[in-house]
Amino acid sequence: MNFRRARRDDPDINITSLIDVVLLLLIFFMVSTTFNRETQVRIELPQASAEAGAASDNAVEIQVDAEGRYYVNDQALINTQPETLMRAIEKVGGTDTDRPVLIVADAKTPHQAVVTAMDVAGRLGFVHLRVATQRTEP
């Protein structure tokens, strides 16, 4: 008598329900998450009593927040190194060194961060540097 073993199929794991649950969780977290706008930097400007100058549309704007991080035309830089700031200003300003450079620094910004921004703009050949301030309360 010849007894043969019955052929067994390998058991398969059905992961369809697992994929459904993961996708539902993904959709839930995407809908319930709040997003912060990174392009709006809260800067408290220092005060000055001088007259306000005319704003220029084509100015290169360098923002420095209270922690010393740089933003060039509302684009955050990946670090605070002068070389990174130089590349970002070159990208925005190009070879037109007659464009004004507006430095918008928070009142609590470390002084060195503002001096670094001014130095980098000067090394690139920009000569029209402006520092933004708030008008003092009378």
CA 120, 122, 125, 126: dihedral to nearest 10 degrees? 100
Please identify which residue in the block is written with the tokens 């008008």. Answer: 135
pTM value?
0.59
What are 38-88's pLDDT values in tens digits? 556 666 666 665 555 555 668 899 999 989 999 999 899 999 999 999 999
Residues 6+ positions from 123 with CB-CB distance below 8 Å: 86
Which of the two residues, 97 and 25, has the higher pLDDT score? 25
Q: Is the pLDDT of residue 25 over 60?
A: yes
Asked if residues 80 and 115 have their Cβ atoms less than 8 Å apart, the reply is no
CATH architecture of residue range(s) 47-135: 2-Layer Sandwich (3.30)
